[in-house]
Amino acid sequence: MVPDFDARLKAFGSTTFKELRPGQRQVLSAYAADHLDAGDLAIEMPTGEGKTLLALLIADWALDQGRSVAYLTGTRQLAERVEKEAATLGLDIVRFAAKDYGGAKLDDYHQAQAVGVMNYWVYFNSKPVPQPADLVIFDDAHLAEQPLSALQTLRIPDRPGPARDLYQTVCDLMIVHTDAYPGLHAMRDGTARPGTPPELFAFNDWAAIASTVRAAIEASPWVEDNEIKYVWPRMRDFLDRCGVLIGPTGIEMRPYHPPTALNAGYSQAKQRLYLSATLGSMDDLQRRIGCRRVTRLVTQDPLPPGATGERLLVLYPIEGKPADDHILDWALHQVASAGGRAAWLCASHAEADVLQTQLTNAGHAVYRLRPGEDDTVDAWSRAPQGQLATAGRYDGLDLPGDICKLVIITTVPQASSEFERFVVAYLGDASFMRHRVGQRVTQALGRANRTSSDRSMYLALDPTFAQILADPAVRASIPHDVQPTVRAALELYDRGWEATMRSCDDFWHETTRADSDQQDDAAASSLRRRARPGRAAGGAGEVASADSEVCAAVDLWVGDQGSAATQAREAATLLADAGEAEHAAFWRYVQAHALFNRGRPQDLATARSALEDATANGPRTTWFRRLSRTITDLSGSGGVADDTDRFFLSWDEWCREAGPRLDRTLSQGRNLLTGNHDQQCEGLELLARLCGASGERPPKTEQSATDCRWTWSTVKRGERRVWEIKTGRGESVARGDVNQLLGQIEVETKRAAKTRVYGCLVTPAGVAAGDAAEAARYKIALVSHEAAVRLYDILADRLRQYAALCGDGNAVARGDARTSIEGLLPADGWLGRLLAPTDGKVLDVKDVAELFPQR
């Protein structure tokens, strides 16, 4: 019998919920008519439209059909909201939490007498107490990704103690086995900078050390740590089926997608409902959750304007890094205007750690929200002032009314895990990641706007936000009702610093002017232009490859290698047809992994052939070069890696960040390098990036602080250079300057004992005095200021050419650009040779120019 949800609501006799809203009625009618038997159904409704009531009515109907119901939320706060709404409706529920299950409560849930409400970690864990339900409701569905993936993810953090010892042991084992990973030395030594792209250990390299790694884990005291002891028994026999990523903050061993289909809490349910205001593409939802193919159900009519109050999105309009002092000072000025409270949304735990330190040092109380620590939000919301800091959390936080008037998005939310960082760095054409950025920005913009009376400001600190939000794939993933807010923010960004400051001040000091001006500006802009149809956005948001991807990941995990290979190839074919060459090649790599694991002689040949097919006529991007090395290894040739990839990874990242502002950024960098002492120090940071190294200016409070510090890694070792800049008109290098730098070298050598540390002295002089030259002979590269500027000019010229040849950044264009530019660059290892001790001589312009091939 088809349920009548209007009648069911009326039967409750609730004085609050008297009738369905039009959007609720439309969705429930469609559910009753067409989706009662759907296995996986996603319901997308805007914030404020009443998803919770809708889900409770479906749960009520399911109980009457004799079905048990589990209502899952991301936090205790959200579970309490569901409990309150169910009580207002008159629906029986029971609440479960860790170690709080009761007896009668469990019985009522199991016997389908009441809805069981709990968070995801209570339902999805290694030993769940509530048994699998017939109907599982995923509220804020994206929050299920972390607990589901965590069930089969082993993470070894680079953290002091047994975890770091184990991290370094894995690094050592791989370094001994192969020199194929240039970044590994810096990661092992702890000198790799945060944000360094992770390395994916090739499946054949990992297979060679997996058994030794297993023994090392079981011998480590860290195996008893709560962070690992529950997941290790599920992982110990599956290490060779994992994708293994190592980054500066940790090692991740995990399936390529969560094998959720193997979880009884998922597989035994007759129906799974996914609820969210921002579901995104069903293909990517399936990819993130690891579920089966999902059917989508949405409301036909958008919410009326003002249904979730007023919001102002402000993009920081001046170049810099989100953690720079001037950007943080501006954000803290807005915090003061907001009454001393803000929610800070960081992309990763490493980023949140840095922010927490900065805020604490600035005298602010910081409330750090970590998975499962719901009490943090409660404590922060009760405090008169304080900063809530989150990591990778853009959904599932309800901060209405006076709880929060200011939300700060610190960096572009494009990578919250090692796997996502890998995709961004190596699979540049995987457009699902750009869809996730738009989705997360939309989620962030809803945190403090829940009701019609809410009025909140949202700060986007990363200066690259404007470029990212203008990306067609990102804009396509932003819902219609949020588009005016984003468009107005882009227009305010173009008006510059003074207009931005004025808009912020108006927002805090006037009731409605800022938001109305923002909307008026957007409307006026629209009126000035003739309406045009616009471009159609394409990409993986419309490519249904996730079903094959998830099936391949599950089959590989359970050991059905033949099926895994078939499904991975199908995913690759779909992605290749969509023009995503790098993303497609990744799934050919997974196909080869499955065949390699099956292990028959013919399988090894087929695995090699799969990679050869993937790379045949492929672009010369970093990912395709990595695959070529794996082919060489599988052929038994043992090719030698170089560190050129590091160079182009750095340039690709810079091109993504700066976009059309790249030329201006490079010009500003040159001006810095020819300016005063402090400006030259800043210029050295940009020169480091041009060279494919990581540059930083140490804090002034640091003992024997150098002017700038460069770090990079080669296939043989980690490299570090400490820089000292001298200005003026000295005719020769003074012994005192050399002695100062020698002291800094000694300090840095103690900090990074396994890294090769030399000094670089930038000087206006052309020669070194006898005793200075002798003292510098074995430890210092003496570099004339003109030589440093010439190096900058040549590399900036090459980067400009590379960016122009890359065009829209697709894999083929980037590969062709790399092929063209590589011939204009020095041979592999040039940076280490250039910045090696110069035997007391001063490098000049001619020495730099001779490094580069003639045109």
* 35 touches 41 (CB < 8 A): yes
pLDDT, mean of residues 760-765: 96
Check residue 516 and give its pLDDT.
46
Q: What is the pLDDT of residues 137-195, one digit of tens each?
A: 999 999 999 999 999 999 999 999 999 999 999 999 999 999 889 889 999 999 998 88
Residues 6+ apart with CB under 8 A from 146: 120, 371, 392
Sign of the torsion angle spanned by Cα atoms 276, 537, 548, 244: negative
* 822 touches 644 (CB < 8 A): yes
For residue 633, pLDDT beyond 80: yes
**pTM of the predicted model over 0.85:** yes
More confident residue, 700 or 5: 5
Print the SS3 string covering 230-254.
Answer: CCHHHHCCCHHHCEEEEECCEEEEE
Alpha-carbon torsion, ordered 43, 47, 49, 50, to 10 deg: 70
Class of domain 311-495: alpha beta
Residue 309: pLDDT band with limits 50, 70, 90: confident
* Winning range, highest mean pLDDT, from 90-104, 360-374, 442-456, 703-717: 90-104
Check residue 299 and give its pLDDT.
83
Q: What is the pLDDT of residues 88-120, one digit of tens each?
A: 999 999 999 988 999 999 999 999 999 999 999
DSSP-assigned letter for residue 453:
T
Residue with tokens 């829940």: 450
Whether the domain at 311-495 and the domain at 648-851 fall into the same CATH topology:
no
pLDDT, mean of residues 212-222: 95
Check residue 529 and give its pLDDT.
62
Check residue 280 and give its pLDDT.
85
Lowest pLDDT segment from 12-26, 45-59, 235-249, 641-655: 641-655
Check residue 531 and give its pLDDT.
62
Check residue 416 and give its pLDDT.
82
Residue 205: pLDDT band with limits 50, 70, 90: very high
Check residue 710 and give its pLDDT.
96
Residue 444: pLDDT band with limits 50, 70, 90: very high
Check residue 705 and give its pLDDT.
81
Q: What's the CATH superfamily of 5-149+261-296? A: P-loop containing nucleotide triphosphate hydrolases (3.40.50.300)
For residue 640, pLDDT beyond 80: no
Percentage above 70 pLDDT, the chain:
94
* 769 touches 734 (CB < 8 A): yes
The overall average pLDDT reported for the chain is 91
* Domain residue ranges of the chain, discontinuous segments joined by +: 5-149+261-296, 155-252, 311-495, 561-572+580-641, 648-851
Sign of the torsion angle spanned by Cα atoms 827, 828, 833, 835: positive
Burial-class residue 767 by CB neighbours within 10 Å (0-12, 13-18, 19+). Answer: middle
Check residue 641 and give its pLDDT.
63
For residue 752, pLDDT beyond 60: yes
Q: Which fold has domain 648-851?
A: Restriction Endonuclease (3.40.91)
For residue 329, pLDDT beyond 80: yes
